[in-house]
Structure 1
């Protein structure tokens, strides 16, 4: 397969040593952001624009010399050719011996030459077409409930990647729904979540979509079980109200709910990358219509092409990944903020938390060697301006970490009432975002030490033209590609998540001890036994 990014430590790269030698430049007073941001044409040299998306990294703690070495690192590591191999369906998930097919799915549902159809199997393509057809039947009312009524509510039962990405897109594109079908998500196994949903739905007009790649996730199984029993008490044929999405049709059919349809998702699509697979396409097509979902796929595919084809110095997600690596491994920042100045993007940071932290929270390389660099950072986020009144105090005067601000150029809603200060609320959002980025970079001088802000705290600004399906698709693909590129640069596999499974294995054992009436309790360690006693005594 040629050069393999997993077999060569990133610290062996010549460009890595160059970056270590250049780090002192940026730690001098001349490298303070209040000085860097006054450089002539700073914004021109440190920004990238693509149709629908603008990325400004002029307030990052880098200069041209450091940027040149970062680009040299990307070239030396050959991450862009490796990204192309991923896009073409080659095996890049080495620990599970699988390709990563999320890009192939998007390519197949855009107006492309027939040669691109080879990226996805005919079965996978057929499964997606089946899901699209089903969504249209729900929307036009030709597929009815067991009582002969039109479906008005859809509840998605899923957790993690089966929930977060799709919930984000549904929230972001709420204005594109016809409001005749409501979309709900049941993820947490806490029974109160189920109780909340059943207070607002009517069983006879509710469709349940159960999503689990392997159908071994306990939270999904528990919620599906109580949903099935709830429906069995209320409708003549509950199976007409249940469908499943899984990589294993056999596993789905062997569970307690009986499904009228089981839709497949490719084994090579990880949950956190599954928004544009059947797992997201089916519920979203019911909610906003496949016409809008196809635009979402088109926008994502356009960013996929940019991420794969653009040269290193003009490659938006690759540059973002290089800056992330620089901030993490060289400047030692422990976290990354995601702050969208839009209520419609309020769930973005939750999706990025899982996408990034599950992909980049690794301890070994893709071929099983111990990593010799930090992997991943903590993602924290909320919407602006809410976040300004929450954790920005820490950002300005406490422990610093980089931030990605996200602004929307054109608001979807026209403001009919004049703003308090004579400007629309959308302008108020923008001046707050600009002011925060400037304050973090330049700080504040004061004779009162309590009011002094040191500045020199890096940030980037991402601007979307508007909140349309195409723009949201581009944003999704940008963050996916950024995440994958950072993993490839560092040399670890962004497509497995074995750390997540450790707790599941322990939980399974504890569950068996409760079910078996504590026959093996002597094997349980002291602290765990203490909490098991609390559970069984209530």
Structure 2
């Protein structure tokens, strides 16, 4: 039987508070460090692995974390989730994004529909449309092929799909699967839409409008912006637009779209990259086969997340170490540092995924919790970040745990030897050096040049960033966030915190304001 209890009532957590912490600089020095690197690693899907040698854990701490996993019933709660129990208590909904890439347990029926079959059906419809666009069966009014796809959406309808597109763009070009350039419009700031529209051929562009409710203010405003541009170019908007929405939204049966593909309320925006939200733009950009490979990688990683053995479950292990860092060691932030330019927007996606999910101060029953929950997430690609905020990471007053991502080979295979090493070798050398530098530091009598060390990190590493590897990477972090929410006894699947600002913005636009809200409205000439 599944029970939901606050973290501070769990015996293993109380035990964890009493375990002596690891002196990381000492543990990672010399042969001891080499032995940790060989020992503390767990395989992931798609040839990836997660090495956590430079985390502040040892066998005793891991043993207690394994107890914590059992006492908080992490495996059982995940099983309940993928078998269709109502895990999103705030909105009284199931949580079904795993079903977009595979059936992990029992058939899940909702609203009289087998949901796995429903998601597969939508993927097949998207693939059919994408193939017709690529073959020239679907064209613009002049009979010309579409060359650009533009996604219009915000939040999870932008951050995830944009990050995934950028991650695979160069891989697709090298592997001859690149079909259409993708662009993205998200911000209601008119400069965002104008900048995109001014750099594309609108006559040969297909626009994907993504709004689950069909009422998102920013998205509908940008849709109007785009339709206006199409009309000014003498084009019929309905021949240039498709919708990804829910079956009950105002967009679902509209004749203003070339086609409509459906999602539902059981998939939150930040978890929607493997649904039609990401499926439409990625299938159009790279072909349905590449999107299918992306889903395959995510599905394989999801299967690992079912493992009841923490040591063979990379997402669960990563999550529990993160809880230890947050609730025992008191670290407030986590930096995500991919040493791959293709993952340039991946930290931004993970920022929403983590902070919108676990930025909660009440438990699943609406009761305040007496412990900290989700950390602040930020990051940039290496080596750019090294010349930006790494100064604070190395010598600042706060210790910030680090999550590196790295690949042994580049995506494009274009490289040169400079000073006896390639650019890719230099990139990999930098990530290896940073892990050890953060962990071990460097003593110096000049305090300004002294590095204390003791700065923990982990690294997810693979051969190359392929569609399968990207899917596995996405699944890993989605499941990590889920497991941490379970440990903290919070609901990771609603986002009430984003609603208040939307409500007040509508009051401003309706000129229904007083007090400070009116004063700020006047200040901004609204």
- TM-score of the superposition, structure 1-length normalised? 0.92
Post-superposition offset of 1:201: 1.4
Matching of residues 342-353 of structure 1 within 5 Å: 342-353=340-351
Equivalent residue for 1:176? 172
Post-superposition offset of 1:416: 4.7
SS in 1 for 2:265: coil
Classify 1:442/1:122 alpha carbon distance in 2 versus 1 (closer, same or farther; 3 Å). closer
Equivalent residue for 2:26? 35
> Distance between the aligned counterparts of 2:415 and 2:473, measured in 1?
29
> Distance between the aligned counterparts of 2:330 and 2:421, measured in 1?
40
Does 1:532 find its partner at 2:526? no
SS in 1 for 2:242: strand
Post-superposition offset of 1:226: 1.0
Classify 1:305/1:197 alpha carbon distance in 2 versus 1 (closer, same or farther; 3 Å). same
> Distance between the aligned counterparts of 1:411 and 1:125, measured in 2?
32
Equivalent residue for 2:480? 482
CA deviation digits over 1:118-175, x for unaligned, max 9?
Answer: 9625444323321221111111111112332211111100011001111111111112
SS in 2 for 1:41: helix
CA deviation digits over 1:355-403, x for unaligned, max 9?
Answer: 0100010111112221221111111100111000100000111022000
Q: 2:334 aligns with which of 336, 351, 371?
A: 336
> Distance between the aligned counterparts of 2:361 and 2:62, measured in 1?
27
Matching of residues 22-101 of structure 1 within 5 Å: 22=19, 25-26=20-21, 31-38=22-29, 39=32, 41-51=35-45, 52-101=47-96
> Distance between the aligned counterparts of 1:105 and 1:161, measured in 2?
16
Contact kept? 2:338, 2:405, Cα under 8 Å? yes
SS in 2 for 1:251: coil
Contact kept? 1:146, 1:238, Cα under 8 Å? no
Does 1:414 find its partner at 2:408? no
Contact kept? 2:407, 2:462, Cα under 8 Å? yes
Matching of residues 43-442 of structure 1 within 5 Å: 43-51=37-45, 52-107=47-102, 120=115, 122-174=117-169, 175-177=171-173, 178-253=177-252, 258-309=256-307, 311-398=309-396, 399-419=398-418, 421-442=419-440
Q: CA RMSD in A?
A: 2.0
Post-superposition offset of 1:254: 8.2
> Distance between the aligned counterparts of 1:509 and 1:352, measured in 2?
31
Contact kept? 1:131, 1:281, Cα under 8 Å? yes
> Distance between the aligned counterparts of 1:447 and 1:292, measured in 2?
55
For structure 2, the 5+ residue unaligned runs are none
Moved more, 266-275 or 120-129: 120-129
> Distance between the aligned counterparts of 2:163 and 2:521, measured in 1?
36
> Distance between the aligned counterparts of 2:105 and 2:317, measured in 1?
29
> Distance between the aligned counterparts of 1:147 and 1:12, measured in 2?
67
SS in 2 for 1:208: strand
Matching of residues 428-467 of structure 1 within 5 Å: 428-467=426-465
CA deviation digits over 1:421-480, x for unaligned, max 9?
Answer: 210111101111111111111111111111111111111111022111000000000000
SS in 1 for 2:510: helix
Post-superposition offset of 1:32: 1.8
Classify 1:129/1:414 alpha carbon distance in 2 versus 1 (closer, same or farther; 3 Å). closer
CA deviation digits over 1:18-55, x for unaligned, max 9?
Answer: 01111xx21xxxx3212222437322432112341111
Contact kept? 2:415, 2:424, Cα under 8 Å? no
CA deviation digits over 1:207-227, x for unaligned, max 9?
Answer: 111101112221101101111
Q: 2:17 aligns with which of 20, 26, 47?
A: 20
> Distance between the aligned counterparts of 1:14 and 1:137, measured in 2?
58
